[in-house]
Homo-oligomer: A and B are copies of this chain.
Amino acid sequence: MITREECAALDAVDPLAAFRKEFALPDGVVYLDGNSLGALPARTPGRVRQVVEEEWGRELIRSWNEAGWFEQPYRLGQRIAPLIGAEPDEVVVCDTTSVNLFKVLTAALRLRPGRRTVLGDGAAFPTDLYIAEGVTALFEGARSVLVTPEELDRHLDGDVAAVVLSHVDYRTGELLDMPGITARVQAAGALMIWDVCHSVGALPVELGAAGADFAVGCTYKYLNGGPGSPAFLHVARRHLAAGPQQPLSGWFGHARPFAFEPGYDPKDGIGRFLTSSPSLLGQAALESSLDVWERADLAAVRAKSLALTDLFITLVEGLDGIEVATPREHARRGSQVALRHADGYPVVQALIERGVIGDFRAPDLMRFGFTPLYLSHTDVWDAAQQLAEVLESGEWREERFSRRGEVT
């Protein structure tokens, strides 16, 4: 078995090691929940303070023009584009993932008149499924059907307008074959919408190379944009050229928002997917996080992510009661490791008390996210060691570890 010293040796030659100081992590914590809420970049408090005290407090309304508040949704979209393999004019930052999925899925159904089925992964993060229900309820005769990715092909008939899938499964961390699935969906005449919440910032996402039609994603996981930071959406240029119609037609999507015309006339391009005023504080935090991402090499991120998840799997498989739920094959793995344990909830709570923060998803999954920018091999070794001690000691059986908060 690999030793802590060997991990330290790997850290010494880690090309991403310098990124650790870009994050303000608390002492004594190994944070393995960056797949849920990313850590605070060290530069973010200063940037947020600047927006609050200077742009808002001192410059007031003038900042809409002078601080470039209007361009922020586009500018942030342009900076996210390389992280998802998209063109800069295909991405915009706004609203939340759910709201953005509502927009692109409605636009997709309108691009496929006569087709009335939306396929979703029944195991996907449920908000995508709920939104698909919400959208299809608005189209006469439309329905959303839940399938597994494995069953997808036999459901791809001539009635399927769109398919919504998570690039990485939020529970198991399984990574889907984006190019292969996209090609098969499109061959059936349907449109492919990817939810990249659990892959953006975790690995190189290649929406353009895969020929994806639409994508949505959040920025508060691997991108470290902060709690409730604004989401993004992607629309392929070929669809933008056709003038897709999204239903949340607010004034920020209008061709001339300050002409205050009574009729809606959408902007050309990705701007027509905007609805209303952006959250400037949330965008400021995201902006400072993207300053960090700008210097990160995604190939190095992916290589380290696989090394860390490999290491963790190696260290924990065989522990008492543990079953690894995440695929071993690199091509099928995101940047998290999910472990099944019959009493996963109290085990995770006991680990948190020891400073190793992961989370739990019912019925039995302990999730551990590995964020290459701020985790080291030694951190992974320490986390595995703590897990071994929790299981060996049986301390997780203490009653207090079974009391549940709302986020479980």
CA distance A245 to B137 in the complex (A): 10
Total count of chain A residues near the partner, CB < 8 A: 94
Q: Does A37 belong to the interface (CB within 8 Å)?
A: yes
A226 close to B129 (CB less than 8 A): no
With A230-B279, A282-B281 known as contacts, the answer to whether A249 contacts B49 (CB < 8 A) is no
**In contact, A277 and B362 (Cβ under 8 angstroms):** no
Report the minimal beta-carbon distance from A325 to chain B, rounded to whole angstroms.
15
Verify B362–A259 contact, CB threshold 8 A.
yes
Residue on B with the closest CB to A70? B406
List the B side residues contacting A276 at CB < 8 Å. Answer: 96-99, 127
Does A407 sit within 8 A of B, measured CB to CB? yes
Question: Which of chain B's residues has its CB closest to A278's CB?
Answer: B228
Which residues of chain B are near A362, meaning CB under 8 Å? 258-260
Q: Which residues of B contact A251 (CB under 8 A)?
A: 98, 125-127, 130
Our pick among B45, B96, B140, B407 for the contact of A61 (Cβ within 8 Å) is B407
Interface: A74 (CB within 8 A): no
Q: Please tell me how many copies of the chain the complex holds.
A: 2
- Whole-angstrom CA separation of A134 from B49 in the bound complex: 37
Among B53, B126, B220, B262, contact of A40 (Cβ-Cβ < 8 Å): B53
Cβ contacts under 8 Å, A285 to chain B: 52, 281
* A76 in the interface (beta carbon within 8 A): no
**Nearest Cβ distance between residue A19 and chain B, in whole angstroms?**
16
Residues of B within 8 A of A24 (CB): 53, 57
Q: Which of A248-307 contact B (CB under 8 A)?
A: 248-254, 257-264, 275-283, 285
Q: Hey, which chain B residues are within 8 Å of A249, CB to CB?
A: 130-131, 133-134
User: Least Cβ distance of A400 to chain B in Å?
Assistant: 14
Q: How long is the Cα–Cα vector from A303 to B97 in the complex, in angstroms?
A: 43
- Identify which of residues 39-65 in chain A touch chain B, using a CB-to-CB cut-off of 8 Å: 39-40, 44-45, 48-49, 51-53, 55-58, 60-65
B227 and A406 within 8 A (CB): no
A339 within 8 Å of B by Cβ?
no
- Inside 8 A of A56's CB, which chain B residues have their CB? 37, 40, 226-227
**Given A53-B40, A135-B247: A129 and B264 within 8 A (CB)?**
yes
Asked if A357 is an interface residue, CB under 8 A from chain B, the answer is yes
For A26, give its contact among B40, B52, B58 (CB under 8 Å): B58
Contact of A254 among B126, B229, B282 (CB under 8 A): B126
A125–B254 Cα distance when bound, in Å, is: 13
Smallest CB–CB gap between A266 and chain B, Å? 9
CA distance A245 to B407 in the complex (A): 26
A52 and B40 within 8 A (CB): yes
C-alpha spacing A106/B134, complex, angstroms: 11
Asked if B63 and A227 make an inter-chain contact with CB atoms under 8 angstroms apart, the answer reads: yes
**Pick the contact of A262 from B146, B247, B263 — CB < 8 Å?**
B146
Q: Closest B-chain residue to A33, C-beta based?
A: B61
**CB-CB < 8 A to A139: which residues of B?**
138
Tell me whether A64 and B406 are in contact (CB under 8 A). yes
Q: How far is the CA of A60 from the CA of B27 in the complex (A)?
A: 12
Residue A408 is within 8 A (CB to CB) of chain B in the complex: yes
- The answer on a CB contact under 8 Å between B247 and A98 is no
Residues in A14-35 with C-beta less than 8 Å from chain B: 24, 26, 29, 31, 33
Complexed CA–CA distance, A276 and B230 (Å): 11
CB contact list, A174-225 vs B, under 8 A: 218, 220
Q: Name the residue among A58, A61, A95 with the largest chain B CB count within 10 angstroms.
A: A61
Lowest 4 A-B CB distances belong to which pairs?
A65-B405, A98-B250, A40-B57, A134-B249
A sample of 22 inter-chain contacts (CB < 8 A) reads: A26-B60, A37-B56, A39-B57, A40-B56, A40-B57, A45-B52, A64-B406, A70-B406, A96-B250, A98-B251, A99-B99, A127-B276, A130-B249, A130-B251, A130-B264, A134-B264, A135-B247, A137-B245, A227-B281, A228-B283, A279-B279, A282-B282
